A = this chain, B = another copy of it.
Amino acid sequence: MRIKDELKQDAIIQATVKLVNEIGFVSSSVAKIAREANVSPATIYIYYKNKEDLLVSTYVDIKQKLSEALLKNFDESKPFRDILKTVWLNGFEYVAKNIKHYQYAEQFSNSPYSDLVDHVKVEKHFEPMLKVLQKGIDQKVIKNVPHEMLAAFIFYPMMILSNPKLCKTLELSNENIEQAFTLAWDAIKF
C-alpha cells in the first residue's frame, strides 16, 4: 500500500488558507479546495473526517504556530517590559510574514466553527506568557486587572494594527510599531 503523503496534506492546508483568504469562508467549497491543492475531493476525506474537521484543524494548526512565534526568544529572566516588547515584535513579524494564515484565523474565530475548537487546549501554549503577566502584577509593575483585560490592550491592538482589513491606511513602519508599544505599555503599567 501507499503511505500517507505529507506533501499532500500540506497542500490541502495551504489551499484551504489561500482560498479562504481569496474568496472567503462562505465560497470555499471542498471541491475548490481540492482543485487548488491538485487533489481529488475524495482525498481530503482521507486526511480529514469532514469539511468542519479540515477547517478546525487548519485553525488549530495556525494558532499553534502563532503561539510558537509569539514566544520565540522567550526569556523569563529578562525584565518584564523587555519580555513584553519581544512578544510584541514577534507578533508583528509573524503577521507580516503570515498574513494569510493570520487572516484565516480571524475569519475562523468569528465564525460559528469557532465553537468547535477546544480553546483550553489552544490557549495552553500561552501559559508561560500568562505566568509572566501574573508576576508583573505581583511585582506591581503592571496594573492589577484581569488577564483578559490586559490582553485586550496588548495582544488585540497588535492584531488590529496588523490587520490590513481593519487598518487600511496605517503603514506598519518600525517607528509606528514602537509608538504603538508605548501606548500599550502606558495602558497597563502600574
Contact = CB atoms under 8 A, between A and B. Distances in A.
Taking chain A's interface residues, is the majority helix, strand, or loop, or is none over half, making it mixed?
Answer: helix
A183 interface: yes
Interface in A98-116: 106-107, 109-114
A47 interface: no
Query: What is the copy number of this chain in the assembly?
Result: 4
A77 interface: no
Interface string A106-140: 11011111100001000000000000000000000
A112 B184 contact: no
Interface residues of A, number: 44
B152 A109 contact: no
Contacts of A106: 110
Contacts of A24: 111-113
A101 to B, nearest CB: 14
B184 A149 contact: no
Given A149-B161, A156-B157, A170-B149, A112 B183 contact: no
A167 B147 CA distance: 10
A78 interface: no
